[in-house]
Amino acid sequence: MGQQSPWGQALEHDQIDGGTVIENQWVLWARITGRTGASAAAAQVAVLNAGGTIKRRLGLRSDPFQFRGSATGIEFQASGLAGTLSLREVSIEIIPKFVFEPELLPIWNTSTLFLLEALAGKHVISLLAQRQQWKAHRVVDLIAHAFADAAERGLRDQPIHIYRQTEESSVVLRGRLNIARQAQTIVHAPHLLECDVDHLDVDNPFNDVLKWAATALAGLATEASLKERLTGIAHAIPGNAERSVAQRHNRLVPPPQFQAWSDALELARLLASGMTLSSNGGRTSGYSLLFNMERAFERFVEVALARVLQASGDRELTSSRQAWTTYAEPDFPGGRRLGCRPDNLLRRRGTPVMVVDAKYKLLDRDLTRAQEETGTPISEDIYELVAGMFAHNCHAGLLIYPASSLSEAKASKIRTWRLNVFGTTVRIGALPVNLLSLGSRTELAELFRVVGLEITNFIRRH
């Protein structure tokens, strides 16, 4: 059956609707569809159809869902993404491959919210203290709780009103006189003035997006009380909950007097941009919240580097993404140049000083064990890193990857090696980053501080 899940029997007996899978691990399809009562074949077709939409919209390198036959039945695998996939036929929660212990699932879900806030580069949600005690098994459940809190704060203030212009004919001037229309009516209705009047109206895209999000989350939530709460919120918000609204207006900034709705609108945007999909000719539809994990981790490293440079105050040190450089010219006509494009390149006064590559993969797991200091990254990643260093003529390179367990110190620790290359000594490093147990902005800031300190010290040594 392939690699056995480290969760053991936890996946057999959990109460999650539709089942839970760990990224890159094969599980029996019947284990997932058996909880929903849906046809396994129909659910398989729906998932494969949705996979094409997901691949395109998330920019995945390969198809996210795979099926294969085995001696025990059809098996299913999800790769390259994490979050909640919700279709009419089946609902699946996909856990990142570095989350091994079942008790870490609710911890990871909370961490996801803070990571999303950091990676978006803006205020996404204000997590209240009690929200850290939620035991929701799905990221989308936490989003639903957060949206309900945020929407109720907005409703306690007032619904969003914006000015909408209407055309009126009046015996007295109201608003602004429309000269063009007045010229057209001066012969047959000389006693009327053609006016453009602005009215405060709740019929606007802001409320449409909010109503859509409340309606969608009410359908996704598994708790009866939360479903009822979100249904009431959807009913209280004016507007029209149209599916296309979220795609047309997913980056709305509320007027200054309606800032109480900022969190709810940001969560609606998050839901809309995370994934809204329809498949199977419109017969299968769902609202899902899925993330390109490789890109999310690369973005995390970019944010960490930006914070390092800002905290250092060193204006001569800059960072750039995916700087392509050729390192080999062909000796034969028509040959292609060889080059590389590292994830990040640090320069001092324009001169490359360090290559930084984010690797969303499980490297040598020994690197994540506090008692073990002798593990090494896989050779393929070292070769790629050294090629980038050679191409950019710099003597330092760093691999950053997600840690696959919680260390006792809950802090990242860099490992370094020296290489003698073409008569000179270069140094490479591997830095595991603990993305789990981020229960507050303080813990997220501490993670960035620890990672930043490790990177800063590594730069100073070179």
pLDDT tens by residue, 315-371: 888 888 877 778 788 888 888 888 788 888 888 888 888 999 988 877 645 444 434
**What angle (nearest 5°) sits at the alpha carbon of residue 23, between those of residues 388 and 222?**
135
Say how far apart CA 228 and CA 207 lie, in whole Å.
19
Name the token pair of 224.
């009866």
Say how far apart CA 36 and CA 58 lie, in whole Å.
27
DSSP 9: T
Q: What is the CA radius of gyration of the chain?
A: 27
Burial (0-12, 13-18, 19+ Cβ within 10 Å), 52: middle
**pLDDT averaged over the chain?**
76
pLDDT tens by residue, 192-248: 888 887 777 777 888 888 998 899 888 878 778 889 999 999 999 988 776 566 556
Question: Which of 47-61, 110-124, 173-187, 407-421 is the least confident region?
Answer: 110-124
Say how far apart CA 39 and CA 33 lie, in whole Å.
7
Contacts of 200 (CB under 8 A, 6+ apart): 161, 162, 163, 164
pLDDT at 404 (0 to 100)? 65
pLDDT tens by residue, 139-153: 777 778 888 988 998
Question: Which of 163-167, 173-177, 361-365, 411-415 is the least confident region?
Answer: 361-365
DSSP 367: G
Question: Which of 123-137, 391-405, 423-437, 440-454 is the least confident region?
Answer: 123-137
**What angle (nearest 5°) sits at the alpha carbon of residue 434, between those of residues 432 and 439?**
170
Please state whether beta strands 396-402 and 424-433 pair in parallel, antiparallel, or not at all (unpaired).
parallel
Strand partners, 349: none
Question: Does the pLDDT value for residue 125 go beyond 70?
Answer: no
HSE of 392 in the Cβ direction (CA atoms, 13 Å)?
Answer: 30
pLDDT tens by residue, 95-122: 888 876 666 777 777 777 777 766 665 5
> Are 249 and 132 spatial neighbours (Cβ–Cβ below 8 Å)?
no
> Are 332 and 378 spatial neighbours (Cβ–Cβ below 8 Å)?
no
Global confidence as pTM: 0.70
